[in-house]
Amino acid sequence: MTDQHLHPDTMAVHSGRADLAELGVHALPIDLSTTNPLPDIERGGDSYEAMATGGRPPADGSMVYARLWNPTVARFEDALAEMEHADASVAFSSGMAAMTAVILAHTSAARKSHVVAVRPLYGGTDHLLGSGLLATETTYCHPSEVRSMMRADTGLVVVETPANPTLELVDIAEIVAAAGDVPVVVDNTFATPLLQNPLDHGAAMSLHSATKYLGGHGDVIAGVVACSERIAEALRRVRAVTGGLLHPLGAYLLHRGLTTLPVRIRQQQQNAQQIVQWLIDQPEVDEVFYPGLDGDPRGILERQMRGTGAMIAMRMSGGYAAAKAVASSVALFTHAVSLGGVDSLIQHPAALTHRPVPADARPDADVLRLSIGLENAGDLIADLAQAFAASTVMRPHRPANAAAVSSR
């Protein structure tokens, strides 16, 4: 049975493990070597050159040095590539290291300094693109404006869907068509490979902050990009030169995390759907942001995704003061940045993850973002209810069922 015929649940358990039987082990091994023996000078030198320029270790050569290659990292990369329907993937020390490598490989290395970025984006990505640190010029736009923003020196189009923090859905195929020959990278962190595969819709790269759902337990920071082998070679070259490598222990934790990703996503999504239905009836909430609440009029959710995910955003009726009070009053939810773990988190995007974003593009101050975990949904709802009650700035006398809904 070939991998393309396997159910995603099965792929999550078995991908990236093809060599374990040959090694005579069942659990994933961890290779912590920083350096490796060389067979001889010539083959050692050839191995170094092959990997330093983005290739793989020669069959009769050596892995040479961990900055160039590590088998534990490579197994995770193979597993993620299979799940993303990609030829390869390249892992990095963080999601931002991964995005940095993608930008460098398609701008500086390609001698094209212009990037088109569809907002909203994760605040760190938005800030990196706008900072000029990588000698790029970025044009931010709405999805419908991508085609008109393309230039001769455009080297990359960046999009995130569902978008952070307001869960807007972007039609990947439409962006790819508008970009023409320019590669499109999709931040797929919120959806994960279980719910969305951007390469199936024409994207050149699917990027993950693997810190989030892929690891799933809040104990590893990493990034990974699924792509073609040609792009992988360019990304490995950047990684080898800049040193943004993922530690083998992190790769082990991520590979192990993939095995439970399907069951985690299903339960987290089920919890989120229950919480969303409760939130839209609460007078303390003006608007709920969650995929599909508007009926999916453009068909993006049905065409592009296999589920709605476990991220929610909500606009508080009492404005920033209410948002601050709720974030400070939760007990089961942890008031913290990040997302995608087994426990539920709440945070204020404008003050935290999106603080570096220019004010005119920053999320509104009355918006909170929720990452729903594996706790009992009823307990999470009760926690939000008591946090709402603890706020003294809620809009009075507002009828139930008045919350707007949005798939933005």
Point out the residues that are catalytic. Answer: 67, 122, 187, 212
Which whole-number Å values give the CA distances from 390 to 351, 394, 396, in the listed order? 21, 10, 14
Burial (CB count <10 Å: 0-12, 13-18, 19+), residue 200 = middle
DSSP 89: E
Neighbours of 84 (CB within 10 A): 25
Q: Quick one: DSSP state of residue 29?
A: P
Calpha distance 135→59 (Å, rounded): 38
Residue 245's nearest CA partner among 80, 100, 43 is 100
With tokens 């962190």, the residue in question is: 189
- The amino acid at 324: K
| Euclidean distance between the first and the last CA atom of the chain, given in angstroms as a whole number | 40
Q: With beta carbons less than 8 A apart as the criterion, state whether 15 and 79 touch.
A: yes
Q: Are strands 334-335 and 345-347 parallel, antiparallel or unpaired?
A: parallel
Which two three-digit tokens encode residue 57?
A: 């270790």
**Residues whose CB falls within 8 Å of the CB of residue 293, separated by 6 or more in sequence, listed in order:** 276, 280, 405, 406, 407
CA–CA separation, 65 and 37 (whole Å): 9
| H helix runs in 56-140, sequence order | 71-83, 95-106, 123-131
